[in-house]
Structure 1
Amino acid sequence: MHLADEFQSLLTELSDLDHNIINALSVDEINTEEIAALVDKREQLLLSVQSLLDETPQFTLTEQWRSAIHLTQRVVTMLEEKTKAIGLSLQKLRHGNRSVQQYKKFL
């Protein structure tokens, strides 16, 4: 396969994975195992992309690469937001548990 075709194919696969990650993060109750598996698969794919970029640095100048970078930034932002929201929920849960323990003292 020609390098440009292989690069395009990898970026298409990367885009599909990113959309799957975005969809997995968009539901109310996230499946952490599914997201972890998708992120692991994405990491392996990025190693292949990086190998091609090392071989042919001019690929970084393509519109497809810029689009992949933009989508990556979107995924990272969503992951950060979801992580922060889960952290806040956990904080509230812990506070609630402490309140319950205080009330149990009166029983």
Structure 2
Amino acid sequence: MHLANNFFEQLKLLSDLDRNIKITLTSADIDTEEIHSLVDKREQLLLNIISDVKKSPELAETEQWQAAIALTKEVVNLMAQQTAAIGQTLQKYRHGSKSVQQYKKFL
């Protein structure tokens, strides 16, 4: 019973971390250090949760675990979208910078 209680408490913490990651990723000014810190905390927490699931495989069948998996997929998709958007912005910046260098040749 203690293992199950601890498991559900950890899932709640995981959900809170995921919500904070989503908020940080969707803010106007993305704080990469904050995201890195949250993802590190999430990884450690997830290792503990997976350890509990290995000890008690029936925990993997719970609705809360399935919800955690779905939320993880959402966070991963959001991270991929933000990374792609930042990559496009960087590409535009680099192109603009090259254009400025070309114009400077004429000065």
TM-score over 0.5 for the pair: yes
Matched, 1:101 2:78: no
- Write the deviation string for residues 70-101 of structure 1: whole angstroms up to 9, x where unpaired: 10000000000000000000000000000000
Map of 1:68-87 to 2, 5 A cutoff? 68-87=68-87
Unaligned runs of 5+ in 1: none
Structure 2 distance, partners of 1:26, 1:81, is 10
In the alignment of these two chains, the number of paired residues is: 107
TM-score, normalisation: structure 2: 0.98
Structure 2 distance, partners of 1:98, 1:26, is 29
User: What's the counterpart of residue 91 of structure 2?
Assistant: 91
Structure 2 distance, partners of 1:21, 1:62, is 24
Map of 1:1-107 to 2, 5 A cutoff? 2-107=2-107
Letter in 1 for 2:98: R
TM-score, normalisation: structure 1: 0.98
Structure 2 distance, partners of 1:17, 1:4, is 20
CA shift for structure 1 position 29:
1.1
CA shift for structure 1 position 28:
1.3
When the two chains are superposed, the root-mean-square deviation of aligned CA atoms in Å is 0.8
Structure 1 distance, partners of 2:85, 2:6, is 38
